[in-house]
A = this chain, B = another copy of it.
Amino acid sequence: MRAARPPFPGPGKFTPQTSGSHDIFVPDMTTQMMIELIAVLTAVRDDVPQVMTIDHGRLLPSGPLESTHRSLQAGVRAWVERQTGHPIGHVEQLYTFADHDRLLATGQGRLIAISYLALTRSHAGETGWRDWYDYFPWENSKSDAGRDCLAIIERLLCRWVADMDNAAMRVRQWQRCVSLFAIGDMVAWNDELVLQRYELLYEAGLVAEAGCTPEDAVPGQAMHHDHRRILATGMARLRAKIRYRPVVFELMPEEFTLLQLQRVMESLSGIHIHKQNFRRLIMQQQLVEETGGIEENTGGRPARLYRFCGEVRQARQFVGTKIPLFQP
């Protein structure tokens, strides 16, 4: 990924050109720092995007950065594998933040959380995997359940706005609701705004994490701390990324049909894709090549099998990808 910091395999070792007081830091002993690493580990199973969790689906795999970790990424890998037994593939950093609401045991420490998005393929019969849309049912705008959930949200947001004192505020916040949740088809649904939608619901007090009672909350399972927010960040990043980088293939098996590929894209984005146009775009970009194999169990005419030919194209690196993700 663009901002990744790989271990530098290059010839020269980094030699700081000392000049004064800039290269030695004196730690601030009054504050105890703690670094927590958190992973949004995602896979797709039976056309359903899933996330790895611990603690009965209430926490993302996470743990403190330890002195034995050679790097931040290594720390993430270590924690995920220790807690879930699942080795991970592609990893990229999401976001770093100071968690105001969790201090250290000493009471005056500071917790810094660094979150990562990780992608992986296989996970036959492992525990801990949960559907994305158990936590964010409204994001699955393709499904009936998603549409129902959106109808509920629309009503609740409407009430939230109506209860405001300030008229200008009412207008502004309703505008926000309309544009984020595509209420009344004034604006098209934007699948990438996962985090913004969650934040709006949080501000409106419609999620359990905001301290409301379960009856007042919107459908969707809550998580501990701000882990659902971090999951939202990961979902948003992945939805944005599959549009212009060939990351979907990290989630696909070695061989797949074009419809299988399309189904994965659709389930990740929660959006319908026009089948013929999808094939056209994938083919003309030469992202895949035929394996020669045939998938028989399609329920209809057998389909050709393809594989990602990124290894060849990795040479002329940093390929763009265009996926026809449009509105239903």
- Name A's B-contacting residues (CB within 8 A): 2-3, 5-6, 8-17, 19-20, 22-28, 30-36, 55, 58-59, 64-67, 71-72, 93-98, 100-102, 104-106, 108-112, 114, 172, 175-176, 178-180, 186-187, 190, 192-193, 195-196, 199, 202-205, 208-212, 222, 224-226, 233, 236-237, 240, 315-318
Contacts and interface: CB of A to CB of B under 8 A. Distances in A.
B96 A16 contact: no
Contact of A236 (B2, B112, B176, B193): B2
Copies of this polypeptide in the complex: 2
A205 B9 CA distance: 11
Nearest to A211: B12
B317 A25 contact: no
A71 B96 CA distance: 11
27 contacts: A2-B193, A2-B233, A2-B240, A3-B95, A8-B203, A9-B203, A10-B203, A14-B101, A16-B102, A17-B222, A19-B58, A22-B225, A23-B224, A25-B105, A25-B111, A27-B32, A27-B34, A27-B64, A27-B109, A28-B67, A71-B100, A72-B97, A176-B315, A178-B316, A179-B315, A186-B316, A196-B317
A57 to B, nearest CB: 11
Given A72-B97, A96-B72, A226-B14, A25 B64 contact: yes
Contacts of A190: 318
B34 A33 contact: yes
A246 B205 CA distance: 30
Given A19-B224, A105-B27, A226-B14, A94 B209 contact: no
A23 B102 contact: yes
Contacts of A66: 28, 31
Contacts of A94: 3
A199 B180 CA distance: 38
B205 A12 contact: yes
Nearest to A210: B12
Contacts of A226: 14
A116 to B, nearest CB: 10
A97 B76 CA distance: 13
Contacts of A179: 315-318
Contact of A10 (B3, B27, B55, B210): B210
Nearest to A3: B95
A53 to B, nearest CB: 12
Given A22-B224, A23-B225, A28-B64, A5 B212 contact: no
Contacts of A109: 27
For the complex of A and B, the 6 pairs showing the least CB-CB separation, nearest first, are A10-B203, A12-B210, A12-B211, A33-B33, A31-B67, A175-B315
B318 A2 contact: no
Given A6-B199, A10-B199, A17-B222, 20 more contacts: A3-B195, A10-B203, A10-B204, A11-B204, A12-B202, A16-B101, A19-B224, A23-B102, A25-B111, A27-B32, A27-B64, A28-B34, A67-B110, A175-B317, A176-B315, A179-B318, A180-B318, A187-B316, A196-B317, A196-B318
